[in-house]
Every structure is written in C-alpha cells, then in structure tokens.
Structure 1
C-alpha cells in the first residue's frame, strides 16, 4: 500500500466547528433583558435632574422617610442575622424529622405575594395574643410594624444565604476542635463562625437591601402615613398619588443608588469568598 493510498483510507478527523453562532444566539436572547434594565435606568436618569433630586432631599417628608428607612433596614438586617445564622447552621449540619417541612415553611415568604404577608400580619394582630401585645407595645400602623413587615420577608433570604454558607464550610474543623476538648458550641463560635464571616456579611447586606425595597407588607400592615410610617418605598407611592412624578423618580433614584452599592458589596464579598475557597489546599 502506497503512502497516498494509506492517507486516502485513514479516518478523517471531525471538523471542529466554531462556537461563535451558539454564543451569539445566547447573547442576543439574554441581551434583551439586559437592554430592558439599562433602558429603565437611563429613562429614570433622563426624566429627572439634579435639581429635582436636591428638591426631593430638602423635603421634610422624604428626609423622615430616609431616616426611618435607614433605621428600620438596619434593625431588620440585625434581626435577620440573629435568626438566620442559627437556622442556617441547623439546616446545614443537622438531620432531623420534619426538616423538609421546616424548609418549606421558611420558603413561604419568598413565594407568597407581599400583600398576602402584610394581610397575614394584620390579621395576626387582630387575634387575642396580638391584641394583648398591642396593649403594651403599639405595633400595627406604627414604626414596629415597619420593622416586622420587613423582617417577615427579608429573614427568609438570610436563612437561605447562611445555609449555603455553612454547606460550603467543611465540618472537619469542628470535628478536630471537639477532639481537642471543645464543646459543640465552643467549636461553633471559635471555628465555624469566623469562617462564615463573609457569608454573614452577605446575608446581612442582602437582608438590608430586601428590607429597603419592601412595599406591599408595609402598605397593608403599617400604612403610608407621612412623618410616621413613611419609608422610601412608600414615599414613591405617596408622591405618585399626588401627581409629583419628578419627586417619585428622584426617590426611586435614591433607592437605585442604594441597591447598586449593596450589589457591589455582595459581589465583592462573594468573589473574595470564592477566591479563598479556590486557594484552599
């Protein structure tokens, strides 16, 4: 057999086709949503002006809404961490009867319409225990109701974030600490919790951002009373209700700026956590 004949009978290598058409198709399909988000942001920026933003910031009502939003969101984030860290740890480390039911219950605030959560809170405080509590601490249509409405939704996100965080932390460190004489809670405080610090910061930041954007439960459970239960999300609603579209857009821009800052913080801590995990031996 001559070399030319051998080359003719040799199996042909499959041609490697370019991935460009596939990737371009995916980019075009996904780009529609990206363009929509960018278009909305550009429209907000084009509609308002720095003067409208300054005028909105000078309004006593909006100043009060900013203060209450900062206070309520910060308290809500702390409460979410107070509950989210232990619940996330239990769901990640422990196996017990009824765990699936507990996970389903914790996911309810995520899938329920926000108005339903607000209505459920309102009904809860119409029951005998709720009315008894109202005798000592006014909750409904007061500042505590704002924090409770934010907490009812945002805490679910904190729990899920902390569960994923503890899932990514090997239990080996706790086991070694216990063989060296630590109790379970000492191993948790000294070994696991410090390793989860990035996840804790991410959970707190996400809870803060979710609380800032909460509207439905606050509107139903707290109302939208000026200088009392008004937060930034209800400020947009109140400004729209009186036809002050420029002020509503200005307040919306404030919330967008806060959301961008929160997302940058989350991306920063998230990328840092991924980097350190990738460098781990």
Structure 2
C-alpha cells in the first residue's frame, strides 16, 4: 500500500502541495492538535491504567470494557455522539452526568481506601469533582446547550480547532490507556512495597519509583496516541468540519482533494502523512531505545 503511494506521487506533486498555503496551515494544525491530544491522552491514561493494573475491585471489567468502546465504535459514531453531546444536551442532563462522575469518583475513592491507598489524594479528587458539579450547575443555568456554554466561556468546540482535539481524544486516549496498562503490568508491585517500607507513602512511591520506571512506556503511549490522532478522520469531519484555513487537518485534506478530483494531490498528502508517522516513530526509537517497558 505504501509502495502504491510512492510510485504514484511525483516530486512535482510533493512540491506543489508544499507550496500550497492551505496545506501548510493544515500541516501546522495537524502537528499542534495531535501533540495536544497525545499529551492529554497520557495525562488521563497514567492514573486510569495504574488503577486498572494495581487494584482488583467490582466493576473493574465493566470499566475495562467501557475503555474499549471508542476503539470498537465506527469513527463516524464518535463524531456524531460528540455533535449531539455539545449541541443537543440540556443543562439538566449535563448536571446529571456530572453527578454520575461524582458518584464514580466516590466509588473509586472507596475502592482505594479499602486497598489501603489514596487516603490523601482521593478526598482532594472528590472536592474537585464536587466543585465541578457546583460550578457546572451555576454556569449552565438557563443555557441552551453545552456548546453555548463553552462558547460563552471563550472555548467554542463545534467546527473549531479545539473541536479537533476533542474529536481525536477518545480513540487516542483508549490506545494510550492500553499501552500504559501493559507498562504498569510489567512493573513489579514489590518496588512500591519496598519504597513504602523505607518511609514513602503511596503517592511518593508512585511518583518516585513507578513513574520513572514507566517513563519509556509513557513516551510509547504518547507516540501511539499521536499516531492515532494523525489518522483520525471521521470524528474530526463530523464534529470539527473541514474548513480550509480553519479546521482542515491532513486527514481531511486528503478527503477534500479527492472530492475535487485531484487524486495526485491526495496521494501526495497521504505520502506526507506516512512520512510524518514514520519519522515520529523513528525519533522515539532513537531517543527512547528499544528497551522500553512494552
């Protein structure tokens, strides 16, 4: 498949797209949004994967299944769900969803306390969730939709560059969680136990022992999320659109070029995406090496 692109694209085709201002803006927006998505994915994946790797509790299999849903769903469904969420959800529904998040946080806190961990962290997390619930209830009072609320706060999502990150995030984060869980599974819990016998509490053992050992896995998770975000098309097209110079990323650029019948241009952009993905993977292998935790 890669060979077909290579044989189809000429140097003239590559030079033409690299001189196109719209394509250059698309490349810049692609790199920025993929990087933001990768960072957010790792930030979410680390605590969630650690919880699934280290603790056995009721509902663990259910949470594990929920994390696979973005991977298994057709991409268009993810984009459509986001579009409905932001443009059709009422304030009351949003508050109920926040209440559900608060209940989930309380459940996680109960599980961690039962296992002897999270005594200092979980209460703070519950306070944050409660604060989000209260602020959300006040901010959304009388608003028509979540999109109106986010736009009123200066963060429009639908058909906006921020929406690209949100559209890329569900699938990218799911892959990052899987990668980080494999990483934590390969790190023996005994390291943390030894650290705690030497005076560290659970949080210190995690930050000073586990995180350094999981460093290469975190880089791998970020790379996986970045590469997955690079190829995300359906959710981005449905939720953020494909407006030239505003929400056009490389994946949607290929779609637009095909729509106007410019097959050589679409093939050239596809080859550029392949090169970006390969260069990213090679850089990670160079800086991290092959001795990662996965």
Q: Which residue in 2 is equivalent to 1:144?
A: 162
State the 1:97 CA deviation.
1.9
Structure 2 counterpart SS, 1:271: coil
Match of 2:233 in 1: 215
Q: Of residues 92, 97, 113 in structure 1, which corresponds to 2:74?
A: 113
Tell me, in whole angstroms, the C-alpha distance in 2 between the residues paired with 1:266 and 1:210: 15
CA distance in 1, matches of 2:36, 2:260: 30
Match of 1:272 in 2: 291
**Residue in structure 1 matched with residue 186 of structure 2 by the alignment:** 168
Counterpart in the other structure of 2:209:
191
Q: Deviations over 1:143-198 (max 9, x none)?
A: 11000001111000000100000000001110000001101000000000000011
Q: Using CA pairs below 8 Å that are at least 6 residues apart, which structure has the higher relative contact order?
A: 2
Shift of 1:222: 0.6
- 1:43 positional shift: 1.7
Are residues 1:135 and 2:138 paired? no
The answer on 1:55 being equivalent to 2:55 is no
The aligned counterpart of 1:252 is 270
1:218-233 map, 5 Å: 218-233=236-251
Q: What residue ranges of structure 2 are gaps of 5+ in the alignment?
A: 92-145
Deviates more, 1:94-103 or 1:152-161: 94-103
SS at match of 2:251: helix
Contact 1:236/1:249 (8 A) holds in 2? yes
1:235 deviation in Å?
0.3
Question: Number of matched residues?
Answer: 236
Distance apart, 1:242 and its partner CA = 0.9
TM-score of the two chains, using structure 2 as the length reference = 0.77
Alpha-carbon distance between aligned partners in 1 of 2:292 and 2:35, rounded to the nearest angstrom? 23
The CA deviation at 1:267 is 5.8
- Which sections of structure 1, spanning at least 5 residues, go unmatched? 1-39
Cα offset for 1:265?
5.0
- CA–CA separation in structure 2 for the residues paired with 1:42 and 1:176: 52
Larger Rg belongs to:
1
| Counterpart Cα distance in 2 of 1:251 and 1:83 | 31
RMSD: 1.6
The answer on whether the counterparts of 1:158 and 1:207 sit within 8 Å (CA) in structure 2 is yes
Contact 1:202–1:270 (Cα < 8 Å) also in 2: no
